[in-house]
Amino acid sequence: MRSVGASSSRQRRWVVACLAVVGLGISACQPELSITTAPAPQEPRVEITSSPAETQVEPRTPIVVEAQGGKLQDVAVVGPTGPVEGALDESGTRWTSLVDSLDYGASYTIEARAFDARGNIATDVTRFSTIEPEKFFTAYAEPADGDIVGVGVPITVNFNKKVQNKAAIEEAMVIRTPTPLLGAWAWKDDQTAEFRPKELWPGDMDVTVELNFEGVQAKYGVFGKENSSQTFRFRPSMVSIVDADTYTMEVFKAGELVNTIPITTGKEGWETRSGTKVILSKERSRVMDAATGGISPDSPNYYRVTAPYAMRLTYSGEFVHGAPWSVASQGNANVSHGCVGMSETNAAWWWNENEIGDIVIVKNTGRPHGNDGNGLTIWNDTWSQWLERSANGATFTAAAEATDTSGV
């Protein structure tokens, strides 16, 4: 308390003294005024950082324009087909073009303008050209644009040249679905890539495949010719589960059980392959001749019959079909030479419900069926086996682009 009082006393004496000297016309008690200035702001400057001095730029090179000491006001990149799209960041100081926005063998002009808080303006103009490769690769995707397929069909991209730079190629292939699905690309060989989700396709949806290959090298010096996009549709899911132990086929449509059919599968020594298979073809009737499998007409296992409502599962000759000759065994014994047989009435119903690309899962036969290429057998790979043949591993499909219905 004493120290505060002492301070107040000193303040009073200072005020009195100041008044006295002011009365005398002396300015000794005037407070001193000190003025300092900060360094002048840097004049705005524009830098085009990703357009090299040399003229031969690869088409996937992003063009980056930056403002130093200010913010960007205008950026225009113009080529033979018009303006190049790009985006300004939140700070307003950096503009970046879309990665796949440039063409081969084209000339471009970049004009940029920046400003600072004082209203100073800086501009820059740069010109460059893109490369004109001597070697190109082409590719096409299946299913084709507009196709409607079953949920067992993978997306396949076929290349006309061998691919060495598989990681870059996978990155350039975009799959769009209504909701993201976990999947992966896997290489069947150096000219064929296949995409499947971890689980079966859900069905009843559109899928878009974008091949953004322009500017991408399959191997050094071999560039993608162009970009492409196509859309196909998966029909509602049809999955039939054949159980050789119970002699039944359960049929699921869009995930719901709609029928249970008595069947017969391969007998001992002729067991049907277990695994997930895809319907390859659909015939109203087919002549089944054991001679095509190397069985002599003199053999007790020789047969030649006309099977109604036949749908192929393997290239080697497994079918699902009507088998009126084995109705007595259907539902209680396995008596076929490897096919899945049922009554003609049940076969007609099943034939009408299913299409090429639908799924048949066979289990409990004791004869495994791997991903051996005997049909569309990709679903017989475990997920870890599938990823072993992928350059980039598991990825999610991209969201489908929204459709503008404002004018509808």
Active site residue ranges: 321, 339
CA-to-CA distance for 143 and 122, rounded, in angstroms?
Answer: 52
Q: Is 353 exposed, middle or buried (0-12, 13-18, 19+ CB in 10 A)?
A: middle
Contact assessment for residue 230 and residue 147, using Cβ atoms and an 8 Å cutoff: no
Q: Taking phi first (over 0 means left), then psi (-120 to 50 degrees means alpha), and beta for anything else, what does residue 159 get?
A: beta
Contact assessment for residue 207 and residue 176, using Cβ atoms and an 8 Å cutoff: yes
Three-state DSSP state, 293: helix
β-bridge mates for residue 299, sequence order: none
Per-residue b or e along 325-348, where b marks 16 or more CB atoms closer than 10 Å to that residue's CB: ebbebbbeebbbbbbbbbbbebbe
CA-to-CA distance for 323 and 186, rounded, in angstroms?
Answer: 38
Q: Token match 């001193």: residue?
A: 32
